[in-house]
Amino acid sequence: MEIGWESEAARAILEETAKKLSGAKRGEYITGITNELLDGNARKAERVFGWGRTTVKKGIRELATEIKCIYIYSARGNKNFENVDRV
């Protein structure tokens, strides 16, 4: 009996590991799995594991260009009213 990544248990382990990671580490993990097991195909990653296609594509581009995207979460959202420039 051959146990490959296509078995339900192996797929569940890969999905659970991705859920436990966050941020850049999660992106690197997803990209690595996609490149190794799915030939770098983002659509397959979306279909098989349910990972976002755009996330996988971004990770593949980061790996190819060796440039990391920086996430500045603190710059998002509404600003405090006291700090907003008023005309």
For residue 40, give Cα distances in angstroms to 1, 7, 17, 27, 62: 27, 19, 19, 13, 13
| pLDDT given for residue 72 in this prediction | 74
Would you kindly state where each structural domain of the chain is located, as residue ranges?
A: 8-75
How many CB atoms within 10 Å of residue 38? 18
Q: Say which amino acid occupies 24.
A: A
Q: Which of 29, 31, 35 is nearest to 13 (CA)?
A: 29
pTM over 0.85: no
Using alpha carbons only, what angle is made at residue 27 by residues 17 and 52, rounded to the nearest 5 degrees? Answer: 90
Is 70 exceeded by the pLDDT of residue 22?
A: yes
| pLDDT given for residue 86 in this prediction | 67
